[in-house]
Structure formats: structure tokens, C-alpha cells
Structure 1
Amino acid sequence: MQNVRWWDAAAITVTAVIVALSLIEPPYGPRDVGTWIVAGTFLLVHLAWGRRCVPEVAAGPHLAISIAYAVLLAVGTTFDPTFSIMQAFLYPFVWSTAPSVRSAIVANVLVAIAIVVGYTARFGLEGFATGAAVATLSVVFSIALGLWITRIAEYGEERARLLADLQAAQGQLAAMHRDAGVVDERARLAREIHDTIAQSLTGLVMVAQRTSRRLAPVEGEAAASAGDDVELMEQMARDALTEARGLVASLAPVDPDTGLAEALRRLSAGFERETGVRVTVTADVSGLDRELEVVLLRCAQEALANVRKHARATTAEVEVARLDGEVVLEVRDDGDGPGPGVAGDRGFGLAGMRDRVALVGGRVAFGPGDAGGAVLRVLVPLAGGADDAAEAAGTTTGVEA
């Protein structure tokens, strides 16, 4: 019952009950008036001070309000023993608002002492025995019940924490399964393209070369025309084979668990081996979370694939660094550059890259480099989220996706 309105209702109810019991037997004397005054004072103290302790208060304020309630209980019981009904409110209140079990027990003992003091002041030594008996029974029951409820609450909080940990672990496991599925599918597609399309194109190139050799000794216009057609077929097959090998290189999975720098070096080595484009890698970062490393790695993979498709470059550079609370990935080449059109029109894959980067609060910029060629820049905040960052500068200009 940690809703303050319920505690207000309980305080008003117990005050009303005490006043009602004192009104049962007229005529009313000074003791009855004293009972009403103390009951009203209790209600005012609760509404002005006690309710602020809900749901929990520090040890010092809790001890202060407990003493105040205990004093009011002792004075009220001195006027009328039925005022001890107030303990039905005080015991649970001081226990549930206590910052610790120790504070709760101390407050319970204060309430019990107030009962004993009140009975003793009202009836003398005979009242002391009665008050002690009532106080002992009530405080033992209150502490036992409070400890039991506290243990149940702690058990519930522990279960809630374990459930949250389990759900988080399940989410991480599901994400790992999805990542593993994506990697497996990329590897399968790469194998399929290599074993089918690439092999068929290789065979077509060989057949075209053999046909050219057979047509070489043949003379005549028809033979020359056929030779030109065969040469064109061979060139088209070579271009298609280059595209297929590039697809295999871009789809081949690169393990990010080895670290971003090592994964980029492996990616670049495979790209250079497949295309002949010399790639240099500079990755001066460490301690990035796995999700961010995967995003940067996939962006670099897509950028290099598009360098092969569109740039006609001979060299490329991949650089990753920290800059003003962000991680910056730059991929530069010495190729043709983006041209006058919109970057996305050249098939650079900015739309998919933008969506991937946006999931971690980053952005993508692409444009011509100062020394020619093109520059792709990916900026991702280290802290995550979609915080605004500085505009892309340095060697990057042009359209921001």
C-alpha cells in the first residue's frame, strides 16, 4: 500500500473511529476533549508531514516522524485507552516507509513504548502491566509480519531482476541467431554464385577464346565479322565474370569478432586479391561495442564493392578514427569520382547504408575528394542514439544521405 492516497484514507479512518468511540458515552469531559485534540493533531501531522514519507524516506526523517507519532499515541492513550487503536495505522506505516529493516524495528519499538507510557500514565502500575502486555503482543506480531512481507518483497524483486536478465539474454541470443542467419545466407549466396554463374562465365570465356583461335586462320569478311562478335562475347563474359567475382567478394562473410581493425584488413586483402585494386587500411580504434563494429564493417564492405563497380580506381584507402565523440569511417579512392549527378544515382547503395547507419544514430555523406576520386564518410556517435553531430568536414563534401 504505497499509494499516498490510501495512507491518507487510512489516517482519516482511524481518526474518525477514535473520535466516534469517544462519542459513544456522553456526557463529555476534559479527557474526551483532549482525545479529540490529539486525534485532530495526529491527522494534521500526517497530512502536513507524514504523507511526505511515502513511499520511503531517509533514516533521519523516518526516525523523526516515528517519534512524533509515538508521542501523539502516548498522549492520546493517556486521555483514552481506546486511542491505542492508532497502532493499527502506525505499525504498518512506519514499517513500509522505513529505509531499512533496522529503522523499521526501531520505529516499531517506539510505538510499543508509547503504548506502555500511555497506559501507565492513565492507570498507574496496573496500567503498566496491561500496556506492556498489549505492546509486546502487537510489536512482536508487527515485526514478524513486517519481516515476512519484507522477505516476500525482496524475493519478488530478485525474481523481477532475474526475469529482466533472462529477457535481456534472450534478446541478445535472438540477435546473435539473426546475425548468424544473415552471415550463413551471405556465405551460401557467395558459394552459389561462385559455383554456378562464375564457373559458367569462366567456361564461356574459354569457349570464346578457343573459337577465336579457330577463326584466326579463316579469311573473308564473314570470318572477320564472326571474329569480332566472338571477341565481343569474350569481353562481355569477362566483364560479367568480374562482376560475379566482385559479388562473391562482397557477400563473403567477414568475422567481426576478431576486432574491427583485423576484420577490415581481411576484407581489404580479399578485395585486393579479387580486383587488383590496392587497398590500405588505417583503423585507430578499440573498445567499440560489437553492434557498432558490425555496422562500420558492413559499410566498408559495401563501399569497397561499389568502388569496384563504379570508380575504375587503382587504389583505395579505408580509415576509421575517433573524432569529437564520434567514430568516423572514410573510404577514399582515386577513381572517376561521383560525377555531376546525385550520389545515389550511381548505385552506390547509399539508401541501404543510410538505413543501417541510422539504426545506431549515425549519418552518411558522399562526394568528390579534394585530390579526385570519391570519398564516403560514415559518422556514428560513440554513445549511441540519434544525437546531432558536427557537419562532415575534411575531405568529404557533397550530398549527405
Structure 2
Amino acid sequence: MDRITTQRNVGLHVAFGVTVALIAVIAAFGWSPWSTRWPAFVMLGVLAVAYVAYGRRGYDDPRSAAAFVPLLVVAALVLPAVVPSTAFVQCILFPVAWCQIDRARTSIAVSVVIGIASGIGLQIASGLDELLSTLLIESISVVGACALGLWITRIARLSDERRLLLEQLQSAQASLAEAHRTAGVTSERERLAREIHDTVAQDLAGIVMLTERARGDLDAERVDRLRDRLAVLEESARTALEDSRTLVAAGAAGVSSDGLGAALHRLGERCTRETGITVTVDAPDVPLDRDTQVVLLRVGQEALANVRRHARATSAQVALLVDGPQVTLRIADDGAGFDASVPSAGHGLRGLRDRLALASGTCVVTSSSGVGTVVEATVPTGAGPRLPSAPAPLSTVTR
């Protein structure tokens, strides 16, 4: 039972009780051609007890309605026959009958029967002299009850149809949303599978082949080739590591769900927890496109990895600054620093600096007098830069 039906039934319960109480007052003080009025009070008592016992369930239970509706006809006959003014009871008998009977034709027939019964009761009390007025009153009552019942029934039917359509629409929307979620999950899984297959899996396959060749050279005592084999093997391993880090930064870091700021805070907390180095992060949530967030998060990962492995620092500061059309990520530590004159192999922070330049951004790595390291990566906020593939991939930070 829905909320509207419950409210309707409660309203009918209240109306029925109030009407029965009012009819009891009328039966006690109204004019009656008889010397006793006990049949009217007995009828009201039976009607009230039957309604409480099973009649109130007739709005939802056809069997209860079939047992209670005939009692309405009897009440329409007995009450006016004892006290004519109690014919007022029809104002509740008609609505109860219409609400407890499902078919409109049956409701009309019952309304006619109630009107006839009430007319007979009035004739019993008033005699044939009031026949014309009785016919007029009951005809108007029956016609009005049927017209009002048909109108309300049509409204109720349209309301039920609209409610059913609304439920179907909500169900369809829920199914469509679930289908979209499923399609999104499937699409993301397929994308990750393609990326892993095209990057990490191929790199690992190459590493396996290089390892087999190196073992063959070792077995054949071709030591002169081992150095070249190991160099290529190291390069392939670095490529696989870079690809896996890029995938982690794009997905597992949570950039796409709760923003770059939250991802940097988690990165700093993890570094502090694992190394004991105090990492403070000042990174508010700012609206950035996903590729920009991935690039900056990658810089933060590489810079904190440098702090973790080489800097011998006790603290580090991470700050995210937005200046107009560009955003800057700054990571500074109080470690040992590095010698800027030493050439780089293209990995670590220097490799990051070189490759970020290819992605329409800049990465400046400085060390003040060999004490502490400052990494500042700047990228456009809307350009959507990506870390491109390069022969010298990012990997373990080296100075």
C-alpha cells in the first residue's frame, strides 16, 4: 500500500466515525413517527462494529468489501425508516461503497440500490404523501453520487497509471545507470588491458628475450657481449618501470576521483610513514584536467623518490601553486643536494626535466651550493600535457 492510498483510507476512517457519531445525535433528537428508536441505534452499533471488525479492510480486501457493502444497503433502509433525517447517512455510504468496489458498473448498481433502500425507508417513515419529494431527493442523491464517483475514479485511475509510468521510468533510469556503470567499468578494464599489453607486457617480453640471449652469451663465454646485453636489459627494465608508474599515477593514485591535492597529501603521508622524513604538503584542490594532474603527480612521485633514496634529508616541502594559465608544483628538501656540473644519463630528476620540456612544460632542478634540492615543474592548466615516450625513460632517481 502506497502513501497516497494510506492517507485516503485514514481520511475515510475518520469521516466514517464522525458521520456515525453525527447520525447517532440526529437519531436521538430528530423527528420519528415511532415511539421507540432502538432499531436505529442498533443499526448504528452494528454498522460501527462491523466497520471496525472487517469493513475498514474492504478498501484493500475484496472479500471484506463483499461482506460489508450489503450492510451499507441495510443501514440505508433501516435508519431513514426509524428517523427520516438520518437519511443524511448516505453522504458516507456512497463514498465507502465506491472505494470498496473495484468495478465502476458495480459501484453504480450499488449506489442505485442504496438510493432505493433509503427511499423505501423514507416512505416507511413518511407515507405515500412524500413519495414525489422522496423520488426527487433520492434521484439527485444517486445521480450526484455516481457522477462524483466516476469523476474521482477516473482521477484515481489516471493517478495510478502515472504512478506506474513513473515507477517504470525510475526503473529504466536505474537500469540505464547500471548499464552505463558496467560499460564504464568494462571500457576502463579494456583500456588498462590494452595499455598493459602495449607497454609493460611487451617490455617484459623483451626483457625475457634479452635474458635468454645473455645466458646464451654467458654459456658461450662471449663475455664481451654481456656488457651490451646488460645495458639493453637495464634500459628495457627502466622502460617497463616507467610505464607501470605512469599507469599507477593515472589510475591507482586517485587523481581522477578526488583530485591532485588529495593525491599529493596521500603521497606525502606515505613518504613520511615509510621513511620518517617529515613531508609537509600545501596542495589545495584546484580544477585541473586529468592529464595535467597525472604529469604533476608523476613529478611529485619522482621528486619524493629522490628525497627518499639519495637526498639524506630530514624534511621536505610540497607546494602546489596556480598562477593564471599555468600551475607549478614545487618540492624542496634540506638534503645533501647534488653537483649540477655532473652530466646526467637522462634518468631521474634530470631526465624528468628533459622529458617534461617535450610535454609543453618545464621542470627546473636546482641545488643551492650543493645543499638541498628544489624541483619546480610548471605546466599549462588546460593544455593537457602528457609525458611522452622517449628512449631514456624515467625510473629510479639518480643524481
Q: What TM-score comes out, normalization by structure 2 length?
A: 0.48
Q: What TM-score results when the alignment is normalised by the length of structure 1?
A: 0.48
Higher relative contact order (CA 8 A, sep 6+): 2
